[in-house]
A and B are shown apart, each in its own frame.
Chain A
Amino acid sequence: MHRVQVLDARGISRALERMAAELVEQVGDEKLLYFVGVQTRGVPLARRLANLVADATGHEPPVGALDISLYRDDVGPWRAAHQQPILRDTELPVAIDKKVICLVDDVLYTGRTVRAALDTLMDYGRPQAIRLAVLIDRGHRELPVAADYVGRVVPTSRAEDVQVHLKESDGEEGVWIAKEVGK
C-alpha cells in the first residue's frame, strides 16, 4: 500500500471553517439547520460543522447520526461468502420535519450512499430541504448527485482508495490517497 497525503489537520480545519461560513451565509435562518452525519465518519464531521456554526451564530444546531445500511442498493445474492454491513446507530434527537437538513459525509464518490441516505431520511419525516456537505469529492459519480458544500475536490482513479482519518475515530488527522502497490 502506497499512500500520499492530500490534506493535513490544518487543511481539514480550514476546509470545515469555510464550509460552515458558506452554510451560515446561505441558509437564512440558522435555527432551521439540523446536521445529520452519515455513519461512520460523517458523524464527527457533522458535529464539528455544528460547533463551527454555533461559534459563528451563537445558536447550537442539533446533530444526528444516520445509518444507511438498511437502504443500500447492494444487498446482493443470498449465497454464502457475503458480509452484511454492520448496523450502527441512527439517532435523530429532534424530529426532521420542516428542518433544513445538512447531510454530512466524509467522501462523495458514486453518490449511492447519498441516495440511500435520502431514502432513509424520507422514512423519518418530511424536511423542508436537504443539503449535502462533504469533506472530499473524489469524482466518478454514478447517480445524479451533487454536493452543496465541498471541502476539497480530489480527482482520483478507481483503483485508488481515499482515506479520511479523524482524531475522533482514527487517532490521526488527514486525508490520504492510497493505492495497492504493484497491481
Chain B
Amino acid sequence: MSVQAAARLRGKDLVGIDPLSAGEIQLLLDTAEQMRDIAARPIKKVPALRGKTVVNLFFEASTRTRFSFEVAEKRLSADSLNFAAAASSVSKGETLIDTALNLEAMQPDFIVLRHQYAGAPHQLARILKSSVINAGDGAHEHPTQALLDALTIRLKRGSLEGLVVAIVGDLQHSRVVRSNILLLSRMGAKVRVAGPPSLIPPGMGEMGCEVYGRMEDAIAGADVVMMLRIQLERQGRMNFPTVREYYDFFALTPERLKLARKDCLVMHPGPMNRGVEIDSRVADGPQSVILEQVTNGVAVRMAVLYLLAGGHGEPTAD
C-alpha cells in the first residue's frame, strides 16, 4: 500500500489525526521532510509565513512543545506570541471562548492550543476564523506528536507500512497513544498497545490496534517500541500502586528490549521519567531516537503551519 499524497489539507484547522485521510498524512510527512533541510542551511529561516501571527495559547504548562512550536514559527518568519493562560478557565473567571474571542480581535492567523480538556480545539475551530492547531487536548489527541513520531520512523525505516509498533504505558490517560494508533494504522503499520490492565480504556482496539495486558507480549518482535510517560501523581493510587511496581513490570529495560527486533527503534514523547518507564541505558543507548524525535518535531510543526496557511487556488508566480 503506497499512499498517494493529497494535494492539500482540507479545512483550516488541525484538531487531530482522526479527520485526516492517509493522503493528507502523507502530504504532511513529505512536507515535513522538506522542512528539515531548512535547519541545515546557513540561514535557518524562510519567508513563507512572513507577516503571519501565531498565538501559542497554552492552558497546560509545557515548555518543550511550546518551544518546538516557537522555533517552527520563527523559522518560517512568522510572528510568534505566547499566551500562558491560568490553569482553569473557571477559576480565572474568563471562559475559554471569551479568551479566544478576545485574542481573535487582534487578528492572529493561527492559534496553537494546548488545553487540559478534550474537545477544546473543536470548540475554538467552530467559532474562530483563525486556523486552530491542537497541541494536545486532555486525553484526546496530540496530532503533531504522532506526526513527528511517524516522520522519525519513516526516516529510519523508509516507510511505515507493515512495521510492528508497540506503545506501552498509561493508555487510559494518554493522548499520544490515541493519535499514534490512528496515524500508524491508517498508514499501514501494525500497532500493539500494552499497559497495566487497570489503565486500559475499553474499546481501544477499535481504534486500530491490538491490546495487551503484558508488555512482553506487545514488544516481541517489534520494529519500534514507544514508551509513554507514567504520571502516578495525576490519577492517584487507585489505578496503580507504586513507581517501583511499575518499573518491575512495565519499564523498558535492556532485558525487555531484547525481546524486540535487533534493530528496534526506541522512542519516547518526552519528558522521560528515567528509571520509571524507561531505563537510562536504553534511553541513551544506540537504538534510541528520542533526540531525533525532538528535531523532527520542529520540522513537522513547520509543515503543519505551512500547509494550513493559505495560497491562492492556482500558483500565480511565473
Contacts and interface: CB of A to CB of B under 8 A. Distances in A.
Interface of A: 67-90, 107-110, 112-113, 115-116, 119-120, 123-125
B73 interface: no
Contact of B8 (A82, A119, A124): A82
B28 to A, nearest CB: 11
Given A71-B46, A90-B37, A110-B318, A82 B313 contact: yes
Contact of B11 (A74, A80, A84, A112): A80
A123 B316 CA distance: 23
Contacts, number: 105
Contacts of B109: 78
A158 to B, nearest CB: 11
B310 A78 contact: yes
Contacts of B318: 107-110, 112-113
A67 B34 contact: yes
Interface in B20-35: 27, 30-31, 34-35
Per DSSP, chain B at the interface is loop
Interface string B30-51: 1100110110011101111100
B79 to A, nearest CB: 13
Interface of B: 5, 7-8, 10-12, 27, 30-31, 34-35, 37-38, 41-43, 45-49, 52, 76, 109-110, 129-131, 306-313, 315-318
Contacts of A86: 5, 7, 27, 30-31
Contact of B311 (A74, A112, A120): A74
A78 B131 contact: yes
A123 B48 contact: no
A67 B35 CA distance: 12
A36 to B, nearest CB: 15
